[in-house]
Amino acid sequence: MLALAIFGVLVFFMFLGVPVAASMGVTAIAFFLGLDEPRNLTMVAQRMYSSTTGFTLLAIPFFIMAGNLMNMGGVTTRIFRFASSLVGHFWGGLAQVVIVAAVIMSGMCGAAVAEAAGLGMLAMKAMPEQGFDKKFTAAITGAAATIGPVIPPSIPFVIYGSITGVSIGQLFLAGFLPGFMMALVMGIAVYFISRHRGYPRQPKASFAEIFVSFKDAFLALMAPVIIIGGIVSGVFTPTEASVVACIYALILGLFVYREIKFADLPRIGWETSLYTIRIMFIISVAGFFGWLLIHQTIPQQVISELTSLGTSANVVMGIIIFILLILGCFMEGIAVLVITIPVFMPIISQYGIDPVQFGVVMILCSMIGLLTPPVGMCLYTMSSISGVPCGELSWELLPYIIGITVVTLICAYSPDLVLWIPHMFK
272/268 Cα distance (integer angstroms): 6
- Helix axis angle, 59-72 relative to 75-87, nearest 10°? 70
Say whether pLDDT at 57 is over 80.
no
- Per-residue pLDDT, 392: 86
As a whole number, the mean pLDDT across the chain is 83
Say whether pLDDT at 82 is over 80.
yes
pTM equals: 0.82
Q: Could you read off the pLDDT of 273-323 as tens digits, one per residue?
A: 887 887 788 778 877 777 777 777 776 676 666 666 657 888 889 888 988
Please tell me the number of Cα atoms within 13 Å of 314 on its side-chain side: 4
Q: Which residues have CB under 8 Å from 135's CB, separation 6+?
A: 386, 388, 392, 393, 396
